Amino acid sequence: MRANLVAAALALAVPLSAHAQPVSEATGPDTYLRVHLGAYVPASNALDLSTGYTFGAVFGARFTQIVAVECGVAYEHARSNGTGGATLSDVPISVSVAARLPLKKAELALYAGPDLHLVSVRTGSGLARQSSSDTAFGGHGGLRAGFNVWPTTLVGLDARASFARASFGSGHADINSVRIAVTLEYRF
């Protein structure tokens, strides 16, 4: 399933590279806003969750040609495969340091940093429905590629792994996940 998501995302992005526009980094903007929409894949099998969805935004600022700092927020949601009716909702608020490799018509970046997760889990159905929430700290790391479609706009792919441990009632649960998303970045 994950391989199919990656293949589909690559198939969408590769044709865009043929239409990429060159960007002059020396005179380019220093701040940017990136939005994403994609698949959220929970790594924990405790709740038997299937692949869900994610969307969010990142505001970034370049301090040098290769170093940027980013602040982001997202919404991630997944449902259970089984009959238990479990759902997981996560709002990660993150800070990242990005190492960028600007190319003439594209950009590659590695990034990592800490997260604050606002997590909610619901289990059961009907009158037996239970809800628990927690605020957890964790971290993330990722890789992204973007292609210039206009001098100030990039379209690309983002792959991010996230890890955190949340407390629900008397137990703990790992809320590790992988996010594969299509991104749109605007530099201003």
If you average pLDDT over residues 109-137, what whole number do you get?
85
Mean pLDDT of the chain: 84
Residue 186: pLDDT over 80: yes
Q: What's residue 21's pLDDT? A: 46
Residue found by looking up tokens 């903007």 in the block:
29
Whole-angstrom distance, CA of residue 5 vs CA of residue 30: 32
Q: pTM for the whole thing?
A: 0.81
Q: What is the number of structural domains in the chain?
A: 1
Residue found by looking up tokens 């800490």 in the block:
114
Reading the block at residue 178, the tokens are: 């992988």
Per the structure, the complete domain to which residue 151 belongs is given by 2-187
H helix intervals, 25-65: none
Residue found by looking up tokens 């960007």 in the block:
23
CATH number of the CATH domain containing 76: 2.40.160.20
Helix (H, G, I), strand (E, B) or coil at 9: helix
pLDDT class of 2 with cuts at 50, 70, 90: low
Which helix (H) or strand (E) is 163 found in, with range? strand 153-168
pLDDT class of 169 with cuts at 50, 70, 90: low
Amino acid at 11: A
Reading the block at residue 105, the tokens are: 């018509």
Model confidence pLDDT, tens digit, residues 28-74: 558 999 999 999 999 866 677 889 999 999 999 998 889 999 999 99
If you average pLDDT over residues 175-188, what whole number do you get?
94
If you average pLDDT over residues 131-143, what whole number do you get?
91
Whole-angstrom distance, CA of residue 101 vs CA of residue 3: 26
Reading the block at residue 139, the tokens are: 């971290």
Reading the block at residue 102, the tokens are: 């600007």
